Amino acid sequence: MIVSDVLSVLDAWAPQGQKADFDRVGLQVGDPSAEVSRVLVALDLTPAVVLEAEEIGAQLIVTHHPLLFKPVGRVTATDPIGSLVWRLGRAGVSYAAIHTNLDAAHGGVSFALAEQLGVTGAEILSPLEGVMQKVVVFAPAAAANAIREALTASGAGQIAEYDACSFTSTGTGRFRPSEDANPALGTAGDLEAVDEVRIEAVVPTWSTSRTLRAVRKAHPYEEPAIDVYDIKNAATRQGYGAVGVLEDAEPLPRFLARVRDALGAGALRYVGSDDAMIHRVAVCGGSGLSFLPAAIRGGADAFVTSDVTYHRWFEALDHGGETRLALVDAGHYETEAITETLIADHLRAHLGGLEVDVTRQRTSPMRTFAG
Ligand SMILES: [Zn+2]
């Protein structure tokens, strides 16, 4: 097995195209064609994680947070980021990140966090917007099945829990081949009228090129008529955060204890009324405060995320100063540590023969002091 085999499995699960614009994911250091038999998974790339990879003989490290996030001006042994790149190179260890593309995946980071907290029936809290297109293909009826199959196989036609979604209507296609054309049907210079079908399916933007290649391959015409246009529908399979329910509603203090214990958090910061009952729960692993409005709109009794700064706590209050929902900051590391197991389990399930280790390091440098 080589590094690119592992990257392909990650990309099929959490396509790089669905990452946030600001993000950098995928292979960051190393060689896609290098042999790999053992992978080490961690939330962050730290010196201790690189050392651990060397000790256990891992040829690839996969982390959630990308090491190379901002552009670097140099790679030397004396700066914090460059020294890690240098060490990886010297050790022959490749390195990849799977970050907001995994945050945005159905079943990704926030779904794992929801499950960890005992939240069931999870759905995406804030679906991705502006990422859906419609592909419309005109073809002779005899080619319809092959084209529908090509659409499905290339990732088009997925709507929530349904795949192979398409619509087919019938009509008449007209065209006149030029003297230089090489038409599958018709004669140069003659206007042709053919019974055709119109097949349409939705596709996420990052799959559109692959879909167009597959459709052209399945299409009998020299120049297939294909339209691609942006649609305003939100994605149904990609988005940030998750929202679901606890089996039974519970008072906020019991819910806070649940979160603390499930995540191994030393302390929680929160805004909320201690007599509030918590049933519907929204979560977003990591810095998810921008999804607070979605949690409120979605009727959540509590929203668990991290990195809430002082002034933003007030966003959980209404105009009268009452809490609109319980807002809980459980820590960035704590809300995302489950990601290590999530990635490792996925690799084990899809790459038999690959040894996958979760790091023994607690990569967060931050501690809480409780006296
Ligand atoms: Zn994070």
Domain range annotation of the chain:
3-103+337-358, 117-127+238-334, 132-230
pLDDT digits 0-9 by tens, 283-330: 999 999 999 999 999 999 999 999 999 999 999 999 999 999 999 999
Contact present, 302 and 272 (Cβ < 8 Å): yes
Q: 111 CA distance to ligand 1 centroid (A)?
A: 14
Three-class secondary structure of residue 56 per DSSP: helix
| Residues in Cβ contact with 279 at an 8 Å cutoff, skipping those fewer than 6 apart | 245, 246, 248, 249, 250, 301
Distance from C-alpha of 85 to C-alpha of 102, rounded to nearest angstrom: 23
Gap from CA of 112 to ligand 1 centroid (Å): 14
Fold agreement between 3-103+337-358 and 117-127+238-334: yes
3-class state of residue 310 by DSSP:
helix
Tell me the CATH number of domain 3-103+337-358, given options 3.40.1390.30, 3.40.50.970, 2.40.37.10, 3.30.420.40: 3.40.1390.30
Q: How far is the CA of 185 from the centre of ligand 1 (A)?
A: 55
Residues in the chain: 371
Give the integer Cα–Cα distance in Å for 263 and 257. Answer: 10
Q: What sign for the dihedral angle of Cα 216, 219, 223, 226?
A: negative
Distances (CA, A) of 148 to 61, 139, 169, 173, 216: 39, 11, 13, 18, 12
Dihedral of CA 319/322/325/329: which sign? positive
- 246 Rama class: left (phi>0) / alpha (psi -120 to 50) / beta: beta
- Rounded Cα distance between 363 and 211, Å, is 40
State the pLDDT confidence band at 355, using cuts at 50, 70 and 90.
Answer: very high
Helices and strands (DSSP H and E) totals, the chain = 11, 15
Report yes or no: 337 and 41 within 8 Å, Cβ to Cβ.
Answer: no
pLDDT band at 25, cuts 50/70/90? very high
CATH of 117-127+238-334, one of 3.40.640.10, 3.40.50.1000, 3.40.50.300, 3.40.1390.30: 3.40.1390.30
How does pLDDT run across 239-265, given as a tens digit for each residue? 999 999 999 999 999 999 999 999 999
At 287, the amino acid letter reads: S
What integer pLDDT is reported at residue 186 of this predicted model? 87
Q: Which two tokens stand for residue 199?
A: 């097949």
Between the CA of 228 and the centroid of ligand 1 the distance, in Å, is 34
pLDDT band at 108 (very low <50, low <70, confident <90, very high): very high
How far apart are alpha carbons 195 and 172 in whole angstroms?
A: 5
For the chain, give the mean pLDDT: 96
> What spacing in Å lies between the alpha carbon of 287 and ligand 1's midpoint?
6
Instruction: Give the fold, CATH level 3, of 132-230.
Output: Alpha-Beta Plaits (3.30.70)
Å from CA of 196 to ligand 1 middle: 50
Distance (Å) from CA 281 to ligand 1 centroid: 20
DSSP-assigned letters across all residues of 210-268: HHHHHHHHH--SSS-EEEEEE--PPPSSBEEEEEEEEEEEEEHHHHHHHHHHHHT-S--
pLDDT at 371: 73
CA of 8 to the centre of ligand 1 (A): 22
Is the pLDDT at 370 greater than 80? The verdict is no
| Mean of pLDDT values over 341-346 | 98
- For 107, the enclosing helix (H) or strand (E) is none
Ligand 1 center–CA 286 separation, angstroms: 4
